[in-house]
Amino acid sequence: MPVNDNESTETRHIKIFDTTLRDGEQSPGASMNLNEKLEVAQMLVELGVDVIEAGFPIASPGDFEAVREIAQTVRGATICGLARCAEKDIDRAWEALKGAPQPRIHVFLATSAIHRQFKLKMTTDEIVERAIAGVTRAANVCDDVEFSPEDAARTEPDFLCRVVEAAITAGATTINIPDTVGYTTPTEFHARIKMLIDRVPNIDKAVISVHCHDDLGMAVANSLAGVQAGAGQVECTINGIGERAGNCSLEEVVMALRTRSDFYKVDTRINTQRLVPASRLVSSTTGMSVQRNKAIVGRNAFAHESGIHQDGMLKEPTTYEIIRPEDVGFAKTDLVLGKHSGRAALADRARQLGFQLTGEQLQAVFERFKDLADKKKEIYDGDITALIQQQISGNNQAEWSLVDYEVRNSRTSTPTVKLTLRRGDEEHSAEVNQGDGPIDAAFWAVEQITGMKVVCKDFQVHSATLGRDAQGETTLEIEYNGKTYRGIGVSTDTVEATILAMLNAVNRIAAETENASEA
Ligand SMILES: CC(=O)SCCNC(=O)CCNC(=O)[C@H](O)C(C)(C)COP(=O)(O)OP(=O)(O)OC[C@H]1O[C@@H](n2cnc3c(N)ncnc32)[C@H](O)[C@@H]1OP(=O)(O)O
Ligand SMILES: CC(C)C(=O)C(=O)O
Ligand SMILES: [Mg+2]
């Protein structure tokens, strides 16, 4: 690999294509509801991404609705929908996207020998024909068409050049080169992008994009190698979430390009001060926590523990910091609000944390904030994030809500939970005397009232902040009728947090059942 292909002194612009809402959502357990997707999409606009891949419209009515709603309401970025090389997929994607000021249809078809032989059962000629047909159909309705030869990194070079040339001739304006299974290496991927630039005669009619997965931990390095070779778009996700080991992490690739702009000589439109809020929003929305030592956005990313480092930092921060924490959005202080704060301060803090609340949401969060302020002296970012997250994850439209509960428990007796829930105007109560502890008993009580028998697949309680009076944040995954649902609940009492998390998940099931019966 040459030291740097870009001998020009001009700065090239790299488009950031965010696929948190599509490939990111393919992370097991990371499904988001409509409100959550809208919230993330708004944040992505604020962050300054060029393209938002909002979903895969044919996949489900929920995916279709999310892409449609984002296309109708979110402004300031290209809105993209994914489609297989199939007429019904492309038509459905367009149905969801039309009306957006800058729509993009993203058509994909696998090209590698393994995928051709075992998955698609198609010959090379059939693949080329199908790619041309798909891109042509998309280009007939939409000016902006992206084509991805899936598993391009493992596709025979001659065949890859042939498919790419055909797709551009058919009307593709972006050619995305995916390393679908995270198999390539930086040197190899650089050579592959360079090969396409050198060999495909009409390549200058399209923007080359890279889409790298992290199976060998090289997604960011491979994407950077692609940029170095001439790619003009990087596909990535917040916190690197995505199928299996995930995708190229947006915050890492953006900060690498920016911090080493002396080397890459490129820029992006990203407002880097929104990176930490975006990371927190996606983490709390998907329930996928960020490891402490994660580059750029992890809690320890700018923590200096050892004496020699601290000494250096005190003398001159650049001795040990290549990025200023405030440049990626770490707040200087974590202590924020108290019982005398008003709505304006809360809304402002919410915005800094990455949430754009509607008036109704702000009011609901404010009421819970005041309740919390009566219980807790100091309210931290973690508390506010937890309250907001619970609000936007659907509890505002809850079918079931908590009225009251009472717990009796001791080391020697079976726990008892008396629970009252509200559904519409009616209250429903149950008293159970079973389970391994009060949390288990609370599960039984919710099941008894709602009539939903679920299997708990994952259950975690985190402290939202520090201190004895910290709120407990319960996140859980339950299985119902073969599908997994996520729930989040927050309270200074972990039994209450568990009941709220359970109701959050139950309400997702109820909303989905309602949507399915309406469709
Ligand atoms: C690399 C990626 O990330 S690709 C995106 C992956 N994302 C997802 O799959 C999430 C959403 N997917 C879904 O909801 C479903 O798979 C659906 C709705 C798209 C399709 O569901 P089903 O019709 O039941 O098909 P199923 O998922 O079992 O199999 C996929 C079919 O699509 C075909 N296919 C796969 N990719 C493509 C493509 N790019 N173009 C055309 N056909 C394709 C497969 O060969 C298979 O066809 P077959 O049933 O004739 O063998
Ligand atoms: C749909 C394509 C671009 C994809 O996600 C992949 O190949 O990883
Ligand atoms: Mg992918």
Q: Residue 288 has what pLDDT?
A: 87
The CA 150 to ligand 2 mean position distance, Å, reads 6
The b/e string for 96-120 (b: 16+ C-beta within 10 A; e otherwise) is bbeebebbbbbbbbbbbeebbeeeb
Structure tokens at 416: 């008892």
Percent of the chain with pLDDT over 70: 95
Q: Which ligand is nearest to the CA of 237?
A: 3
The CA 178 to ligand 2 mean position distance, Å, reads 6
Number of H helices, E strands in the chain: 17, 18
Question: In the chain, what's the furthest Cα-to-Cα distance?
Answer: 78
Contact 389 CB / ligand 2 (< 6 Å): no
Distance CA 139, CA 135 (A): 6
Instruction: From 21, 27, 108, 234, give the residue whose CB has the most ligand 2 atoms within 8 Å, as the site to mutate.
Output: 108
Q: Residue 123 has what pLDDT?
A: 98
DSSP 8-state code for residue 289:
P
Question: What single letter denotes the amino acid at residue 190?
Answer: H
Task: Give the position, in ligand 1's atom list, of the atom nearest the Cα of 121.
Answer: 45
Sequence-distant (6+) residues with CB within 8 A of 359 are: none
| Side-chain half-sphere exposure of 109, counting CA atoms within 13 A | 29
Task: Give the position, in ligand 1's atom list, of the atom nearest the Cα of 86.
Answer: 41
Question: Where does 236-380 have alpha helices with state H?
Answer: 250-259, 261-264, 275-286, 307-315, 343-352, 359-375
CATH 3.20.20.70 fits 12-286, yes or no: yes
The CA 16 to ligand 3 mean position distance, Å, reads 15
- The pLDDT-based confidence of 397 (bands split at 50, 70, 90) is low
Q: Residue 114 has what pLDDT?
A: 98
Answer for the pair 168, 200: CB distance below 8 angstroms, yes or no.
Answer: yes
Distance CA 290, CA 445 (A): 32
Contact 148 CB / ligand 2 (< 6 Å): yes
Q: Residue 304 has what pLDDT?
A: 78
The CA 357 to ligand 3 mean position distance, Å, reads 31
Task: Give the position, in ligand 2's atom list, of the atom nearest the Cα of 150.
Answer: 7
Secondary structure (3-state) at 82: strand
- The pLDDT-based confidence of 6 (bands split at 50, 70, 90) is low
211 is in an annotated binding site: yes
Distance of CA 92 to the CA centre of its chain: 23
Contact 178 CB / ligand 2 (< 6 Å): yes
Answer for the pair 373, 342: CB distance below 8 angstroms, yes or no.
Answer: no
Distance CA 266, CA 416 (A): 62
Quick: pLDDT tens for 341-392.
Answer: 888 888 888 888 888 888 988 999 999 899 888 887 778 777 888 888 778 7
Q: Residue 2 has what pLDDT?
A: 47
Q: Whose CA is closest to atom 24 on ligand 1?
A: 59
Question: Would you say residue 58 has pLDDT above 90?
Answer: yes
Q: For 195-236, where are the E strands, in sequence order?
A: 207-212, 233-236
The CA 84 to ligand 1 mean position distance, Å, reads 7
Closest CA to 189 of 172, 211, 165: 211
Quick: pLDDT tens for 306-337.
Answer: 778 878 888 889 999 999 999 999 876 555 67
| Binding pocket residue ranges, ligand 1, CB within 6 Å | 23, 26, 56, 58-59, 84-86, 108-109, 119-120, 150, 180, 243
Task: Give the position, in ligand 1's atom list, of the atom nearest the Cα of 109.
Answer: 39
User: Which range has the worst mean pLDDT, 25-39, 135-149, 154-168, 332-346?
Assistant: 332-346
Point out which residues pair with 422 in neighbouring strands: 401, 427
Distance of CA 436 to the CA centre of its chain: 35
Q: Residue 62 has what pLDDT?
A: 92
The CA 149 to ligand 1 mean position distance, Å, reads 15
Q: What is the mean pLDDT of residues 180-196?
A: 98
User: Which range has the worst mean pLDDT, 89-93, 259-263, 457-461?
Assistant: 457-461
| Side-chain half-sphere exposure of 286, counting CA atoms within 13 A | 28
- The strand pair at 51-55 and 78-84 is best described as parallel
Distance CA 407, CA 501 (A): 17
Q: Residue 490 has what pLDDT?
A: 85
The CA 163 to ligand 2 mean position distance, Å, reads 16
Distance CA 48, CA 67 (A): 19
Distance CA 495, CA 493 (A): 6
The CA 494 to ligand 2 mean position distance, Å, reads 40
User: Which range has the worst mean pLDDT, 266-280, 294-308, 321-335, 407-421?
Assistant: 321-335
Quick: pLDDT tens for 480-512.
Answer: 988 888 888 888 889 999 999 999 889 888 877
Topology, domain 397-518:
Double Stranded RNA Binding Domain (3.30.160)
Q: What is the mean pLDDT of residues 74-85?
A: 98
Q: Residue 3 has what pLDDT?
A: 47
Question: Would you say residue 8 has pLDDT above 70?
Answer: no
Closest CA to 246 of 39, 438, 23, 515: 23
425 is in an annotated binding site: no
Burial class (CB in 10 A: 0-12, 13-18, 19+), 519: exposed
Question: What single letter denotes the amino acid at residue 38?
Answer: L
Q: Residue 4 has what pLDDT?
A: 55
Give CA separation, 474 vs 147, 382, 464, in Å.
41, 13, 9
Answer for the pair 210, 189: CB distance below 8 angstroms, yes or no.
Answer: yes
DSSP 8-state code for residue 78:
E
Point out which residues pair with 207 in neighbouring strands: 174
Distance CA 226, CA 273 (A): 25
Q: Residue 469 has what pLDDT?
A: 75
Closest CA to 398 of 370, 430, 421: 421
23 is in an annotated binding site: yes
CB count within 10 Å of CB 308 equals 10
Q: Residue 202 has what pLDDT?
A: 98
Q: Whose CA is closest to atom 17 on ligand 1?
A: 59
Give CA separation, 383 vs 34, 36, 74, 253, in Å.
23, 18, 28, 30
Q: Whose CA is closest to atom 8 on ligand 2?
A: 180
Between 10 and 409, name the one with better pLDDT: 409
Looking up tokens 């390539």, which residue turns up? 184
Q: Residue 355 has what pLDDT?
A: 84
Point out which residues pair with 155 in neighbouring strands: none
Quick: pLDDT tens for 426-451.
Answer: 999 999 999 999 999 999 999 999 99
Task: Give the position, in ligand 2's atom list, of the atom nearest the Cα of 82.
Answer: 1
Q: Which ligand is nearest to the CA of 183?
A: 2
User: Which range has the worst mean pLDDT, 60-64, 237-241, 344-348?
Assistant: 344-348
144 is in an annotated binding site: no
Distance CA 252, CA 350 (A): 24
Q: What is the mean pLDDT of residues 22-38?
A: 90
Q: What is the mean pLDDT of residues 197-204?
A: 98
User: Domain residue spans in the chain?
Assistant: 12-286, 300-327, 335-392, 397-518
User: Which range has the worst mean pLDDT, 100-109, 178-187, 389-398?
Assistant: 389-398
Contact 150 CB / ligand 2 (< 6 Å): yes
**Alpha-carbon Rg for the chain in angstroms:** 25
DSSP 8-state code for residue 100:
B
Burial class (CB in 10 A: 0-12, 13-18, 19+), 76: middle
Q: Which ligand is nearest to the CA of 176?
A: 2
Q: Residue 1 has what pLDDT?
A: 46
Q: Residue 351 has what pLDDT?
A: 85
